[in-house]
Amino acid sequence: MELEVPGARIRSWRAGDQSSLARHADSRRVWLNVRDHFPHPYTVAHADAWLERIVGAEPQTQFAIEVEGEAAGGIGLMLQEDVARYSAELGYWLGEAHWGRGLMTQVVRRFTDYVFASLELQRIFALVFEWNPGSRRVLEKAGYTFEGRLRHAVVKDGHILDQFVYAAIRADVVAPPQ
Ligand SMILES: CC(C)(COP(=O)(O)OP(=O)(O)OC[C@H]1O[C@@H](n2cnc3c(N)ncnc32)[C@H](O)[C@@H]1OP(=O)(O)O)[C@@H](O)C(=O)NCCC(=O)NCCS
């Protein structure tokens, strides 16, 4: 899989991404905004373990964000189950070196279009910690709708935090047949 946006490419992870992944992912500012299973500090061994698990896995739900020729971030889906099986949670991160250039907004917009075109999903949602206005802004700019606030939903770095729910549904982005 390969999708182009100006300044970045969304593509499958490769075994050779190990060192750039470890370098860009080793960031406290990234870690503070993602789940605790994202390691910190992020070592080459962590990158190896991630790539071992992800490269070639089916269905393919996790992708690298390539910037300036190297993997500098990730975007992926967590497919939901049972009655929520037409729904998926979106997650993403970008190495700090590339923040503030509009890259993630374009990546999220392009990836969302790709997902609705290629999978039978009705809903893609994202959960943002209350201290992360940048990610809220990304989702708003990418066409996601703010749906609500989950009070005291998570603990991160010892702090109890609210989470903001954003979602795109198929009907928002895919025009009905004429
Ligand atoms: C959130 C993240 C993906 C943003 O990536 P990015 O490429 O810098 O995003 P963009 O440049 O496309 O857009 C960021 C927007 O947030 C705004 N923003 C950034 N920090 C902000 C802040 N503290 N307060 C308000 N707005 C802020 C920027 O100004 C920009 O909006 P604008 O274009 O209207 O000016 C990146 O910072 C990141 O990886 N963070 C750590 C991991 C993470 O948060 N993942 C998402 C978990 S839900």
Shortest-distance atom of ligand 1 to CA 101 = 11
Q: For atom 45 of ligand 1, which residue has the closest CA?
A: 93
107 pLDDT exceeds 90? yes
- CB count in 10 Å sphere of residue 163: 18
24 pLDDT exceeds 70? yes
Distance CA 160, CA 64 (A): 30
Task: Read off the pLDDT of residues 30-40 as tens digits, 9 standing for 90 and up.
Answer: 999 999 999 99
Domain 2-173 has CATH 3.40.50.300: no
The answer to whether the CB of 142 is under 6 A from ligand 1 is: no
pLDDT at 172: 85
Question: What are the structure tokens assigned to 48, written together?
Answer: 């190896």
Q: Record the pTM.
A: 0.97
Distance CA 10, CA 126 (A): 18
Q: Say what percent of the chain tops pLDDT 70.
A: 97
Inter-axis angle of helices 103-118 and 133-141, nearest 10: 50
Domain boundaries, the chain: 2-173
Residues in the chain: 178
Task: Read off the pLDDT of residues 49-99 as tens digits, 9 standing for 90 and up.
Answer: 999 999 999 999 999 999 999 999 999 999 999 999 999 999 999 999 999
